[in-house]
Amino acid sequence: MRDFRIIGLTGPSGAGKSTVAALFAEWDIPVIDADRVYHQLLIPPSPCLDALTEEFSDGILAADGTLDRVALSALVFEDSDKGRARRTRLNEITHRFVIEKSEQLLAQYRVQGKPAAVIDAPLLIEAGMHRGCDFTVCVLAPEDLRVRRLTARDQKSEAAILARIHAQPTEQFYLSHTDAAVYNTGDIDALRAQLQDVLRRAEVLM
């Protein structure tokens, strides 16, 4: 068995990445949820929030000093070259802080003697976080199943869900940028068996 291993986990919306992430606990493998880390980093006092206000002005702050997500979204998701440039800057700033915090957590898990740790990040590849991983995994599912899951979860129209899905990378993108794939069709036992095989390939399990 190898020393401490870092596993990257990613995949498109509705594939069921959170279900896969929860299964790692069965092998005493902690998961770093990049989205949760990001939200925690924005709680004032926050160097990350300070960097965002320096870039986008105090107009992205609510009256209580917390992030006004609606105001920030209006800036970075504006359908224009300026909006796309702002979105790129947003990602550059936030990814830097998320990666720094993730590295701190990884160091803690290594000291604790964990066999491995998982970085669960929707933008694992795009943020370059995969380069710090020993092994990367994508979670995939058929599009019709993803649509049903997201429609039930987010209470949005099928058209809105499809628009979100089609704006994300294709299945081939994930397959070509990761070391392994697990297919989440709703059978938890099949999912567990796939993940166990992945952990053997990642040299976490014998």
Instruction: Provide the number of structural domains found in the chain.
Output: 2
Domain final residue, candidates 66, 96, 113: 113
* Average pLDDT over every residue of 113-130: 94
- Please give the average per-residue pLDDT across 96-121, as a whole number: 95
pLDDT of 73 above 90: no
Where in the sequence is the domain holding 128, given as residue range(s)? 1-30+115-206
Mean pLDDT of 56-74: 93
β partners of residue 117: 6
Q: Which of 85, 113, 141 is at the close of a domain?
A: 113
Verify that 61 and 124 share a domain, yes or no: no
Give the strand order in the sheet containing 31-33.
31-33, 116-120, 5-10, 135-140, 180-183
What is the rounded CA–CA span in Å between residue 195 and residue 191? 6
pLDDT 10s digits, 1-13: 458 999 999 999 9
Q: Kindly state the average pLDDT of the residues 84-90.
A: 91
Per-residue pLDDT, averaged over 18-39, amounts to 95
Q: How many CB atoms within 10 Å of residue 54? A: 10
Give the pLDDT of residue 80: 86
| The pLDDT of residue 88 is above 50 | yes
* Statement: residue 175 has pLDDT above 60: yes
75-94 in b/e burial notation, b at 16+ Cβ within 10 A? bbeeeeeeeeebeeebeebb
Q: Tell me, what's the pLDDT at 1?
A: 44
- Tell me what pLDDT residue 74 has: 87
Distance from C-alpha of 153 to C-alpha of 73, rounded to nearest angstrom: 21
* 88 and 135 in a common domain: no
Cis-peptide into 45, omega within 30 deg? yes
Confidence band, pLDDT 50/70/90 cuts, at residue 110: very high
Task: Tell me which of 137 and 158 has the higher pLDDT.
Answer: 137
Residues 78 and 119 in one domain: no
Q: Residue 124 maps to which CATH number?
A: 3.40.50.300
Domain boundary among 62, 78, 113: 113
